[in-house]
Structure 1
Amino acid sequence: MSRRDIVTAIPTSFHADGSLDIEGSRAIFRYVAQSGNEGAFVLGTTGEFPAIDEDEFRALVAAALEDLGGRMRVIVHVGRSSAFEAVRRVEIARELGAREFAALTPYYLASAEGAVESYFEAVSEAVGDGSLFVYVYPKRSGIEVSPALLARLAKLPNVIGAKISEMSLDDIAAYRSVVDDDFVLYTGADRDLVAAGEVGAQGVVSGVSSVLPKPFRALAAAADSGDSETIASAQAAVDDVVRIIGGDMPRMKAALRSMGVADGRSRMALVEPDDEALAEIDRVIAAYR
């Protein structure tokens, strides 16, 4: 049976004025803890990490470890534009008890492969006895990671896998061809839990599953059954949810508000869903909650 981890990328809740809603964030953590998913990805893209300061990072990591740690793996994202900042976030999270980490490549300014490798060497050293995922997201970071570079990063101490966002199945296959079988590859494409598995990924990091986890769990079970009709039906449900909510944090938070989980908004400059979108969000909640 193939491994199909579902790791939930969790949104951060903010008040309407942009201030951190720590209690709302904790309510989301507690909701996700009941999902049955294998892990939680905290303070990644879905968590609006570029807009989180150091004190907020500390508070959110502490809350996540308390509210999620007994129920699922907690992967803390520490990626920053510099190794200095990323290492500092590793140190804070380790002090709080975190042992699994992910780090986006450096971002915004162009960076050569050697500089990216040096960045991950520093982060890997800071992780110590923990484990580290390389987070590859060239459409947001501006930094490409070639298969050759990933193969080198995979040999660093503590680097156990990679999260790959908005890249093709062929890209995932290319990464799989240069790393060991036990090196974990997670796709960031919510709907590709099965498709990515067919080219060597061991799971998905899914923001949509923070809102409606059941369709994703049903798809994983269907894939394990091997029944083509069951898989097609489960995939259609996931596709429907992803089409409506997708990697859109304001829509995720609108859904969480509608379900009474947390009354949160986004801090970053994102477009709020209109009435038509809100109606569709309510439709998929009714259908798949």
Structure 2
Amino acid sequence: MRTDTESGAVGRLRSGMARGVLSFPLTSFHADGSLDLDGFRTHLETQLATGPGAVFPACGTGEFFSLDEDEYRQVVTAAVEVTAGRVPVVAGTGYGWAQAARFARVAEDAGADALLVLPHYLVAAPQDGLVAQLERLAARTRLPLIAYQRGQVAFTPGALRRVARIPGVVGLKDGHSDLDRLQRLTLAAPEGFLFFNGAATAEIQARAYAAVGVPAYSSAVHAFAPEIAGAFFAAHRRGDDAVMDRLLREFYVPFVELRDRGTGYAVSLVKAAARLRGRPVGPVRAPLTEPSPADLADLEALLAAGLALASGLTPVGAAL
């Protein structure tokens, strides 16, 4: 049986996932690499203005891997303050379970609603170990947990059944895009267990995920062009294949092709696009690097074309 805290978080997340894309805000840094908390607050306000279903600060797009514990505390606290209860705040946590528990306590004290458990570092692990990792973390926090399978983390249906029985574990974010496996997982999970599409540039596979019962998704594009992300979400929600196809053909597929030119572009290209929009997000931190000048020029042209396309489609959210 879920606690009141879990039930409340699950209900708010489910409602949000049906209402809008899941926003993964960028963490702002100054030119010298130090944390820019004012920039982060401003960036998050622009995200909230377009009506996301939830915000996930200090996760992969937010460069969780580069934050120390105090910076993490500042980012999650600011996210809770800026959202002011408007949408759920799901903070990232990760590494080994002992380190993840330290970050979880910080997020709990900051007032986060739930945690996204990022894949552990480096080593491959058997299914028993993946389950144990979540068991140990869940025993050390009151916050509901969403497991993230990506990289070296991939659950079997049997392991997911065990995961879903862990008190406090309420959902799964999938980044593998193995739809055969995902369908088996959704069928193995208990009723009410949350799933969402966490593939890189999730819109590319949104219809395929929805076909196996996972219509909710996160959107990296929302971090820099909520107009484009909102236009796609609205078309997806109403089943408008013609609009989705046009957005995919003219913006999303070229964006993925551009993203695939450089290692780490899943974050650094998104951050560069946000800067092109005048967002105060600053540079990426090492070991990530900035996109090349040629790729930045192509990004700028693609972004302009995508915004022009979105402006001619059904408007959603606030204009920025």
TM-score, normalised with respect to structure 2: 0.80
Task: Provide the residue aligned with 2:273 in structure 1.
Answer: 255
- Residue deviations 1:206-256 (CA, integer Å, cap 9, x gap): 222211122222222223333432332244344344444576222122122
Q: Which runs of 5+ in 1 are unaligned?
A: none
Q: Following the alignment from structure 2 to structure 1, what is the Cα–Cα distance between the partners of residues 256 and 53? A: 19
Task: Provide the residue aligned with 1:212 in structure 2.
Answer: 225
Matched, 1:165 2:172: no
Residues 78 and 86, structure 1, Cα contact 8 Å, conserved in 2: yes
Q: Report deviation, 1:166.
A: 3.3
- Pick closer, same or farther for the CA change 1:160–1:87 going to 2, 3 Å: same
Most deviating of 55-64 and 262-271: 262-271
Q: Following the alignment from structure 1 to structure 2, what is the Cα–Cα distance between the partners of residues 5 and 94? A: 25
Q: Report deviation, 1:187.
A: 1.4
- Pick closer, same or farther for the CA change 1:242–1:20 going to 2, 3 Å: same
- Match for residue 122 of structure 1 among 110, 120, 136: 136
- Residue deviations 1:189-215 (CA, integer Å, cap 9, x gap): 222222211112131122222111222
Matched, 1:186 2:204: no
- Match for residue 196 of structure 1 among 206, 209, 233: 209
Partner of 2:286, secondary structure, is: coil
Task: Provide the residue aligned with 2:63 in structure 1.
Answer: 48
Q: CA RMSD in A?
A: 2.3
Task: Provide the residue aligned with 1:275 in structure 2.
Answer: 293
Structure in which a larger fraction of residues adopt strand: 1
Partner of 1:203, secondary structure, is: coil
Partner of 1:42, secondary structure, is: coil
Most deviating of 19-28 and 37-46: 19-28
Q: Report deviation, 1:96.
A: 1.3
Q: Report deviation, 1:84.
A: 1.4
Task: Provide the residue aligned with 2:155 in structure 1.
Answer: 145
Equivalent AA in structure 1 for residue 181 of structure 2: D
Equivalent AA in structure 1 for residue 33 of structure 2: G
Residues 48 and 268, structure 1, Cα contact 8 Å, conserved in 2: no
Equivalent AA in structure 2 for residue 184 of structure 1: L
Q: Report deviation, 1:9.
A: 1.7
Equivalent AA in structure 2 for residue 36 of structure 1: G
Q: Following the alignment from structure 1 to structure 2, what is the Cα–Cα distance between the partners of residues 227 and 252? A: 26
- Residue deviations 1:39-92 (CA, integer Å, cap 9, x gap): 111111111112111111101101111123443221111122x21111111111
Q: Which runs of 5+ in 2 are unaligned?
A: 1-16, 308-320
Residues 19 and 52, structure 2, Cα contact 8 Å, conserved in 1: no
Q: Following the alignment from structure 2 to structure 1, what is the Cα–Cα distance between the partners of residues 229 and 206? A: 8
TM-score, normalised with respect to structure 1: 0.88
Q: Following the alignment from structure 2 to structure 1, what is the Cα–Cα distance between the partners of residues 125 and 116? A: 19
